[in-house]
Amino acid sequence: MARQTAGLGTTDGGAPLETAVEQVKRLGYDPRDVRDIVVTHLDADHIGGLVDFSEANVHVYAEELQALWEPRGRVERTRYRAVQFTHGPHWTSYADAGEPWFGFEAVRELKGLPPEILLIPLAGHSRGHAGMAVDTGAGWLLHAGDSYFHHDELDSARPHCPPGLAMFQTLVQADRRARRGNQRRLLDLVRDHGDQVTVFSAHCAAELHAFTGA
């Protein structure tokens, strides 16, 4: 099917027309046409719609699967919802190894997908958190997931995060050092290669509006 992206989101009381499966239908495709799904991590608000694409291959870092199967500590024991995986997803997992990409040392080409789609390790928010990079032919897009929550965090002149969001990031982080380190690397990426790579996160309304024109 055509290369499109849509957040899998959560099925807990959200707007049905905003779910990935409804967006796929509005594009004129059958949900069974979706053969591959690339996820940044397995938090409940990111993979609630996996069951709607039960035959698709789900690409994820092996460390994130390990956190799901063998959680460590309170944060990992509470962040994953077993009910969202009872349909038995078809996992395709990857080690944290690969080739350089704009200063990031580990990138993997995804099995069965074109080399224009890459998985970028961005651990910290969760143990096996990743970003997804796509070469559009006119520059790269990097979906950084929950590596940061507010666009000003990547402001090279004056990085800033509203206190409430900063506190939330701290409460749900799996590895503070890794998270802060990857935020610094993303900031450097935007500063040094912003003309080649457009970075966006999963929860920043300002970034969403910039893409949608809302």
For the chain, list the domains and their CATH numbers: 16-212 (3.60.15.10)
Residue of higher predicted confidence among 138 and 2: 138
Q: Where does residue 124 fall: left (phi above 0), alpha (psi -120 to 50 degrees), or beta otherwise?
A: left
Structure tokens at 191: 């500063």
Q: Please, which pLDDT band fits residue 2 given cuts at 50, 70 and 90?
A: very low
Closest CA to 176 of 126, 132, 142: 126
pTM beyond 0.85, yes or no: yes
Range with lowest mean pLDDT among 71-75, 121-125, 139-143 = 71-75
Tell me the three state secondary structure of residue 10.
Answer: coil
Write the pLDDT tens digit of every residue in 9-50.
544 455 778 899 999 999 999 999 999 999 999 999 999 899
Write the pLDDT tens digit of every residue in 64-110.
999 999 999 888 999 999 999 999 999 999 987 788 999 998 788 89
Distance CA 150, CA 114 (A): 30
How big is the chain, counted in residues? 214
Give the phi and the psi of residue 135 in degrees, each rounded to 5. -85, 110
Give the phi and the psi of residue 170 in degrees, each rounded to 5. -65, -40
Distance CA 189, CA 200 (A): 12
Strand partners, 172: none
Q: Residues 39, 165, 123, 206: is their CA dihedral positive or negative? A: positive
